[in-house]
C-alpha cells in the first residue's frame, strides 16, 4: 500500500468538516450517532468518510466490523470517560481575548509545574484560574500543566492518557481549559502542556483496533512502543504531530513538554522529534506566536536541541536531570539508586560549569559511559529544578524537598536554582515549602488493573527496603486527597518567609542581566569539599553557599570594599575582612562595584 507523506488530518473531531477515520484494519466502519447506525464510505489508504456527520456538541461512537462501540481516536471530548462516546467539538466557536499575545522567551523564563487535580481543592481548570495572581506575584512567566489528556478514572498523574485529543473530563470541559489558558495570557503568563507520545495507558486504549499504532520491535517500561518507523507509520506519525499542533493552535498553548523522549523509538532518516519540531516552527510562522518544544530525556544527549543542519532535532530545550541530582545529593546526602552517581560538591560544580555531569564519562550506576558533552550549549537550552513531580512522586512516601531539608537548606537550594545559568522550574507549592506530599495516585475502574498497579508499586519500593505495608495505596482516594496543596499553609510565619525569599530571588534574576545570559563560559565555580562551601560567579554577581551545618568563612573573589551584599538567607551573614561569614547552610548574593 502506498501511503501519502502527509495524509489529510480530518477526523470526526474536526467539528465543522466531513467525518473521516483512519482504520486500515477494518473491512467495515459504522458511525453511531443520534440513535442511528450508518455505514461510512471507504477511501484510499485505509481512510473512511461519513456520508452524514454529527454536528457540534453531538455524541457519537464507532463500530469496526461490528465490534464496539469505540470512541474516535481523535475524540476532542470524552465527557463520560475513556469508554464513553465521543462528543464533537467545533474549536472555532470559542471567543479568545488574547489577541496580540506573545509568550516571554525561554531565556527569561521561570517555569511553574502544576497538576490540575491537586493544585486546588476542587482540582479543576476553573479553580486553577483563581490562583493565577499568586503565580504572577511570585514572578512566574510560564505555567507547565502536567498531562491533561483523557485517562482512566477520575484521579491520576495523566501519563497514562488514551484519548490524546480530549481534555480530562474530571478537570472540566474543553471550553474551561481554553478559558484557563486565556486567563493566563491576560495576566502575562505563558502556558506549556506536558504531552506523552512514547506510550498510551493500559485502560481505554483502543488505537490498535483501528490500525498499526504500536510495534513489538521496541518496548517501553510502561507498555507497547508507538510505531514511528515501521510499515504504515506515516499516519501514526501524523496522528501524534497533529495532536501537538492542535494543543498549540486550538487551545493557544505556548509550548509543549515532551515526556521521556528516550522511549520514542525511531530509526527513520528523519526522526519523529525533528519532524515535530519543524512542523511546530511552521505553525509558529503561520500563527505569528512564539512556540517552544521542551524534551525530557535521560540520555544526556544535546542532539535534542542542536539544529538539524548539524544532525540535531531542533527542539528548544531539554530537562537537565543532572542538575537536580547533583543539587539534591549535595543537600540531602542521599545515595540510593541513581543518586549513587552523585554526592559532594564536585558534581554540582561540574554541572554548573559544563552543563551536565555525565557528558561521556563513566556512570557507576549504569556501569557504562553515559551522555555527551554539552558545555557549548547556552543554559537557556536546559531546564533545571530543585524538585519536580517525578523526583517527589517517585519516592515511596512522596516527600517533597521541604520534608527532607531545613528551612535554611531550602533557601540555599532555591538560591542555586535561581542563580544558575539554566531555565529554572518550580514544582507547585515549592515556593512556600508545602508540607503536603505528592504521591502516586490512580483511580482505575478495572479491579484487576488496580490490583496490578498496587502490587507493582509495592514491589518496586520493596527492592529499596521499604516495607510493603508502608507504601500508600495508589487506588485509595485518601492518597490523592493527601497530595492536594493546602493553600492555608502559605500564610504561616516560616512559609511566608520562604515565599518572600523566592520572590526576592526571582525578582533579582529577572532584573540583573548577568543572571539571564545563559553563558556557561562566563561562569566560574570554586568549592571546597573539605569545608563544604561553594562559590558561583556570574559577571558582577557572586553567590556564596555553605553546605556545612557549622558556620564557615568563605574567600571572596575581590576585596570586601568592592562588594556589596544584595541578599542573604540569614541576618548573621556578614563581611569579615576579606572573607564572608555564613551560618550553617547559609547563602548570600554579592555584587561587585561597577
| Catalytic residue positions, numbered | 259, 296
Cα distances from 263 to residues 64, 205, 299, in angstroms, run 30, 18, 10
Dihedral sign for Cα atoms in the order 294, 300, 305, 309: negative
Q: Which triple of cell numbers denotes residue 263?
A: 522511549
Cα distances from 262 to residues 199, 303, 382, 564, 587, in angstroms, run 12, 12, 16, 45, 36
Q: Which residue has the cell 499575545?
A: 101
Cα distances from 386 to residues 187, 407, 417, in angstroms, run 26, 14, 7
Q: Which residue has the cell 465543522?
A: 16
Report CA dihedral (413, 416, 420, 422) to the nearest 10 degrees: 0
d(CA 459, CA 344): 30
Helix residue spans in 490-542 (DSSP H): 493-511
Residue 71's Cβ-count burial label (10 Å; 0-12, 13-18, 19+) is: buried
d(CA 196, CA 275): 16
d(CA 315, CA 293): 6
Strand, helix or coil for residue 114: strand
164 C-beta neighbours (distance < 10 Å), count: 24
Residue 447's Cβ-count burial label (10 Å; 0-12, 13-18, 19+) is: exposed
d(CA 292, CA 165): 19
**What are the φ and ψ backbone dihedral angles of 515, each rounded to 5 degrees?**
-85, -5
Amino acid at each position: 500500500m502506498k501511503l501519502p507523506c502527509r495524509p489529510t488530518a480530518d477526523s470526526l473531531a474536526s467539528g465543522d468538516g466531513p467525518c473521516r477515520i483512519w482504520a486500515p484494519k477494518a473491512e467495515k466502519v459504522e458511525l453511531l450517532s443520534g440513535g442511528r447506525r450508518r455505514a461510512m464510505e471507504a477511501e484510499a489508504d485505509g481512510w473512511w468518510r461519513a456520508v452524514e456527520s454529527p454536528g457540534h456538541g453531538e455524541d457519537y461512537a464507532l463500530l469496526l466490523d461490528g465490534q464496539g462501540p469505540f470512541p474516535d481516536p481523535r475524540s476532542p471530548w470524552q465527557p463520560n470517560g475513556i469508554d464513553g462516546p465521543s462528543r464533537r467539538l467545533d474549536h472555532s466557536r470559542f471567543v479568545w481575548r488574547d489577541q496580540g499575545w506573545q509568550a516571554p522567551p525561554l531565556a527569561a523564563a521561570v517555569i511553574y509545574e502544576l497538576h490540575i487535580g491537586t493544585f486546588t481543592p476542587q482540582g479543576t481548570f476553573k479553580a486553577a484560574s483563581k490562583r493565577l495572581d499568586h503565580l504572577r506575584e511570585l514572578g512566574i512567566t510560564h505555567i507547565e500543566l502536567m498531562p491533561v489528556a483523557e485517562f482512566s478514572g477520575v484521579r491520576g498523574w495523566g501519563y497514562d492518557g488514551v484519548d490524546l485529543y480530549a481534555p480530562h473530563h474530571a478537570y472540566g470541559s474543553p471550553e474551561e481549559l481554553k478559558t484557563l489558558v486565556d486567563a493566563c495570557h491576560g495576566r502575562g503568563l505563558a502556558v506549556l502542556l506536558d504531552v506523552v507520545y512514547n506510550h498510551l495507558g493500559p485502560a481505554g486504549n483502543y488505537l490498535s483496533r483501528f490500525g498499526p499504532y504500536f510495534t513489538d520491535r521496541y518496548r517501553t517500561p510502561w507498555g507497547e512502543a508507538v510505531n514511528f518507523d515501521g510499515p504504515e507509520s506515516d499516519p501514526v506519525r501524523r496522528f501524534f504531530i497533529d495532536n501537538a499542533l492542535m494543543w498549540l493552535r486550538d487551545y493557544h498553548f505556548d509550548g509543549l513538554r515532551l515526556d521521556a523522549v528516550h522511549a520514542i523509538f525511531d530509526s527513520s532518516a528523519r526522526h519523529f522529534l525533528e519532524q515535530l519540531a519543524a512542523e511546530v516552527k511552521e505553525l509558529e510562522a503561520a500563527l505569528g506566536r512564539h512556540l517552544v518544544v521542551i524534551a525530557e530525556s535521560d540520555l544526556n544527549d544535546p542532539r535534542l536541541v542542536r539544529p538539524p543542519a548539524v544532525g540535531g532535532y531542533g527542539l528548544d530545550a531539554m530537562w537537565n536531570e543532572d542538575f537536580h541530582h547533583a543539587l539534591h545529593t549535595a543537600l540531602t546526602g542521599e545515595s540510593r539508586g541513581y543518586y549513587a552517581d552523585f554526592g559532594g560538591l564536585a558534581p554540582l560544580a561540574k554541572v554548573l560549569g559544563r552543563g551536565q555531569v555525565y557528558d561521556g564519562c563513566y556512570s557507576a550506576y549504569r556501569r557504562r559511559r553515559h551522555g555527551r558533552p554539552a558545555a557549548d550549549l547556552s543554559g537557556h537550552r536546559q531546564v533545571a529544578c530543585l524538585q519536580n513531580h517525578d523526583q517527589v512522586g517517585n519516592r515511596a512516601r512522596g516527600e517533597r524537598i521541604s520534608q527532607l531539608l531545613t528551612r535554611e537548606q531550602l533557601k540555599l537550594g532555591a538560591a542555586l536554582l535561581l542563580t544558575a545559568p539554566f531555565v529554572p522550574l518550580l514544582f507547585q507549592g515549592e515556593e512556600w515549602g508545602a508540607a503536603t506530599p505528592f504521591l502516586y495516585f490512580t483511580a482505575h475502574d478495572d479491579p484487576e488493573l488496580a490490583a496490578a498497579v498496587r502490587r507493582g508499586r509495592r514491589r518496586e519500593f520493596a527492592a529499596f527496603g521499604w516495607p510493603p505495608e508502608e507504601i500508600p495505596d495508589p487506588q485509595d482516594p485518601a492518597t490523592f486527597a493527601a497530595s492536594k496543596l493546602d493553600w492555608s499553609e502559605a500564610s504561616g510565619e516560616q512559609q511566608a518567609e520562604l515565599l518572600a525569599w523566592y520572590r526576592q530571588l526571582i525578582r533579582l534574576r529577572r532584573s540583573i542581566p548577568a543572571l539571564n545570559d545563559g553563558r556557561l563560559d562566563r561562569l566560574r565555580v570554586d568549592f571546597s569539599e573539605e569545608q563544604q562551601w561553594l562559590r558561583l560567579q556570574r559577571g558582577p554577581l557572586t553567590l556564596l553557599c555553605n553546605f556545612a551545618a557549622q558556620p564557615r568563612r568563605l574567600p571572596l573573589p575581590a576585596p570586601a570594599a568592592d562588594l556589596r551584599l544584595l541578599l542573604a538567607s540569614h541576618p548573621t551573614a556578614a563581611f569579615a575582612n576579606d572573607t564572608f561569614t555564613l551560618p550553617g547552610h547559609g547563602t548570600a548574593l554579592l555584587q561587585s562595584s561597577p
